[in-house]
Amino acid sequence: MDRTTLGAGVRRTGMQTTAAVRGLSCTACGESAALSERRCPDCGAVLVVDFDADAVESAAAAHPFPAEATVSIDEGATPLVAVPELADELGVERVAIKDEGRNPTGSLADRKFALAVAAAIQEGADRVGTPSTGNGAQSAAAYAARAGIDSKGVVPSRCPFLNKAMVNVHGGDMYVVEGRYEDAVEAFGEGDEAFTSVAPGHPFRTAGATALALELLADRESTPDAVVHPTGHGETLVGLQRGFSLAVDAGLADAVPRIYAAQPDACAPIAAAAADGAAEPVPVDHPDTIVGPLEVPDPAAGRAAIDAIDASGGDGVAVEDKRILQAAVDGCEIGPEVGATGGTAVAGVRALADDGAFDAEDEVVLVNPVAGSKEADLLRSHLMSLGM
């Protein structure tokens, strides 16, 4: 296949954005930054895309790039599946799962790489790269291939075979680093500088989650009261809060839902900091959770994520791996398939309900970031450990 064909329509003549995009700004010091910046030039913190609320009438209108500069495999427009049995169990009005596993490569990462790869191409990149726990590398490879450029993913040895295989299938270069995610981060870029980084914390990755927030509101008649998201790098939490705030400013929502970060307790830097009222996460020295996609001990957007949770009136919740796996199996029986990653939201919302986080009138949305069948082996071994 001629891999340049699909990318040929994407402009490479300087950054093209829609009228709704005002620019980038820093999540820590608030300074404006040029669209080409990837970290704040003043303080080094994570940047976000600023949208003009007056120019945003719908989720689609908040897309950062014009159609001719877009890289897409039809990501987004995922279903919001009602799970009435879970609502009954928790004692709330309504529970629905936003099933991001239905994206092209089976994860929420597709929303992020659609934008980050498009931004990279507009900067003239012919190769993008990211460290990843697995799904991000797969998605980056898929979107780079779609755009007709090269990619590299740097993953830890514990990354699932499925992700490694699909990076190769999409024609990406894959580097497997012995150890865990932080070892992959350390190795990222060593001895190979010939790529444009689309690593976690990239402002257009975060903008992918902003689009998710707007789509969530467009899916419903009323604004949800709470959103529970299983987080790793924290950038989705930041993008969600930005999106909900933008919707309020644009008159598309009544209020910003409370945002809850759910993490496995063996690697819960963001959830623990939010629950403790700390200003930023403390990196975890010895992370050890079975939920590989969420084993991110030093999250790139950690501090910004805490600010986003606090601004929304939300909180953090950390749950044991055993409860996560059981919640995933339970979730599969009553709703859309969830794996260990999505099960973290189910286990998290149960723990939050036990702590009295919700009222009987609350409408709660859980985000399932990864297709359940991608993590079938974890669920199967959990059943086997129970003698099933």
Identify which range of 34-42, 74-82, 163-171, 292-300 contacts Zn ion by CB under 5 A: 34-42
Identify which of residues 24 and 59 has a Cβ nearer to Zn ion in the complex. Answer: 24
CA distances from 354 to 48, 71, 275, 357, 364 (A): 34, 43, 15, 8, 14
Query: 283 pairs with which residues across the strands?
Result: none
Q: Which of residues 185-214 bind Zn ion (CB under 5 A)?
A: none
CB of 304 to Zn ion, least distance (A): 10
The correct pick among 6, 15, 28, 311 for binding Zn ion (CB under 5 A) is: 28
CA distances from 153 to 124, 157, 356, 368 (A): 19, 12, 41, 23
Identify which of residues 24 and 370 has a Cβ nearer to Zn ion in the complex. Answer: 24
Identify which of residues 76 and 201 has a Cβ nearer to Zn ion in the complex. Answer: 201
Identify which of residues 37 and 52 has a Cβ nearer to Zn ion in the complex. Answer: 37
Identify which of residues 28 and 81 has a Cβ nearer to Zn ion in the complex. Answer: 28
Q: How many residues bind Zn ion (CB under 5 A)?
A: 7
Q: Which of residues 39-78 bind Zn ion (CB under 5 A)?
A: 40, 42-43, 45
Report CA torsion sign: 186, 187, 193, 196. negative
26 is a contact residue toward Zn ion (CB under 5 A): yes
Identify which of residues 42 and 355 has a Cβ nearer to Zn ion in the complex. Answer: 42
CB of 118 to Zn ion, least distance (A): 24
Are 65 and 18 in contact, with CB atoms under 8 Å apart?
yes
Identify which range of 8-16, 22-30, 87-95, 191-199 contacts Zn ion by CB under 5 A: 22-30
Query: 258 pairs with which residues across the strands?
Result: 226
Identify which of residues 26 and 187 has a Cβ nearer to Zn ion in the complex. Answer: 26
Identify which of residues 36 and 381 has a Cβ nearer to Zn ion in the complex. Answer: 36
CB of 20 to Zn ion, least distance (A): 23
Identify which range of 20-28, 193-201, 287-295, 296-304 contacts Zn ion by CB under 5 A: 20-28
Q: What span, in angstroms and rounded, lies between the C-alpha atoms of 277 and 333? A: 35
Identify which of residues 304 and 351 has a Cβ nearer to Zn ion in the complex. Answer: 304
CB of 113 to Zn ion, least distance (A): 25
Are 297 and 182 in contact, with CB atoms under 8 Å apart?
yes
Identify which range of 24-32, 128-136, 318-326, 359-367 contacts Zn ion by CB under 5 A: 24-32
The candidate with the shortest Cα–Cα distance to 205, out of 48, 63, 325, is 48
Q: What span, in angstroms and rounded, lies between the C-alpha atoms of 218 and 213? A: 9
CB of 40 to Zn ion, least distance (A): 3
Unique residue bearing structure tokens 């899916």:
219
325 is a contact residue toward Zn ion (CB under 5 A): no
What DSSP string runs through 205-244? HHHHHHHHHHHHHHT-SS--SEEEEE-SSSHHHHHHHHHH
Query: Which conformational region is residue 234 in: left (phi greater than 0), alpha (psi within -120 to 50 degrees), or beta?
Result: left
* Angle, helices 302-312/269-276, rounded to nearest 10 degrees: 40
Identify which range of 21-29, 296-304, 320-328, 359-367 contacts Zn ion by CB under 5 A: 21-29
CB of 312 to Zn ion, least distance (A): 21
CB of 172 to Zn ion, least distance (A): 32
Q: How distant is the alpha carbon of residue 363 from its chain centre? A: 21
Identify which of residues 42 and 54 has a Cβ nearer to Zn ion in the complex. Answer: 42
DSSP 55: G
**Burial call 146-177: b when 16+ CB within 10 Å, e when fewer:** bbbbbbbbbbbebbbebbbebbeebebbbbbb
The correct pick among 8, 19, 29, 169 for binding Zn ion (CB under 5 A) is: 29
Q: What span, in angstroms and rounded, lies between the C-alpha atoms of 327 and 290? A: 14
CB of 201 to Zn ion, least distance (A): 13
CB of 45 to Zn ion, least distance (A): 5
The candidate with the shortest Cα–Cα distance to 118, out of 167, 163, 68, is 68
Give the footprint of Zn ion on this chain (CB under 5 A). 26, 28-29, 40, 42-43, 45
